[in-house]
């Protein structure tokens, strides 16, 4: 299991539109066989900052995710909303075990 | 729902001991009524860096967590393993909805 945390900072005027687009992407992404979770959080002390908590079932799943139409739609929709380039950090899952997701 | 990401950097020689202590804390924490998730990840490009992904059901749950014996045991056990002070970031959950955790 592979956890990817994507950190996104958006323009203040784009907060609500970013949420809408990201919710749509999250719901569609959860239907992918390779994706166990796709949670979205908004930073409490900086509402322009978001984290996408993506949990993939294997090492190939992130690449397959990026080939989907919902990912491409999200990427294109939010491109003009970004205040800075997105950053991502990859983690190997220590807990829970594979059957706990 | 409140997501708290705790970032911990440990001394290289303490990696395995930190994992053991943190797994114990995670398993016990999941039994708390106020905790929905307690995931642990190890950063792929820096195995001394860990993230604890804690999801709480309400604003009071983090304080209740810090009153438990398993939290105190973890805090004391890992104190000497830290390479730097821990940092935490709080997020409001945007997705999933409350019944999706």
Class of residue A59 by CB neighbours under 10 A (exposed 0-12, middle 13-18, buried 19+): exposed
Q: What's the rounded Cα separation, in Å, for the pair B56 and B63? A: 10
What's the gap in Å between the CA of B67 and the closest CA on chain A? Answer: 22
**Cβ contact A95–B39 (<8 Å):** yes
The predicted pLDDT at position A100 comes to 86
Q: What is the mean pLDDT of chain B?
A: 97
Q: What's the rounded Cα separation, in Å, for the pair B47 and B9? A: 9
Q: What's the rounded Cα separation, in Å, for the pair B82 and B18? A: 9
From A16, A14, A18, select the one nearest A6 (Cα to Cα).
A18
A62-94 confidence digits (pLDDT tens): 999 999 999 999 999 999 999 999 999 999 999
What's the gap in Å between the CA of B40 and the closest CA on chain A? Answer: 5
What number is the average pLDDT over the span B56-66? 96
What ipTM score was computed for the predicted complex, to two decimals? 0.95
What number is the average pLDDT over the span B2-7? 98
The rounded percent of chain A whose pLDDT value lies above 90 is: 95
Report chain A residues whose CB lies below 8 A from the CB of B41: 3, 91-94
Q: Enumerate domains of chain B plus CATH numbers.
A: 2-93 (3.30.70.100)
The predicted pLDDT at position B101 comes to 87
The predicted pLDDT at position A101 comes to 86
The predicted pLDDT at position A72 comes to 98
| Structure confidence at residue B65 as a pLDDT band (50, 70, 90) | very high
Q: Measure CA of the first residue to CA of the last residue in chain B; give whole Å.
A: 9
Q: At what angle do helices A15-29 and A69-78 cross, to 10 degrees?
A: 170
Query: Has this prediction a pTM greater than 0.90?
Result: yes
Closest CB to B92 among A3, A26, A42 = A42
B74-91 confidence digits (pLDDT tens): 999 999 999 999 999 999
């Amino acid at each position: 299991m592979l956890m990817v945390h994507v950190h996104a900072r958006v323009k203040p005027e784009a907060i609500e539109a970013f949420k809408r687009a990201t919710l749509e992407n999250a719901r569609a992404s959860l239907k992918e066989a390779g994706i166990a979770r796709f949670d979205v959080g908004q930073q409490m002390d900086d509402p322009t900052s978001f984290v996408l908590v993506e949990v993939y079932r294997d090492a190939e799943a992130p690449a397959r995710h990026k080939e989907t139409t919902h990912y491409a739609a999200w990427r294109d929709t939010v491109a003009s909303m970004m205040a800075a380039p997105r950053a991502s950090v990859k983690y190997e899952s220590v807990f829970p075990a594979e059957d706990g997701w």
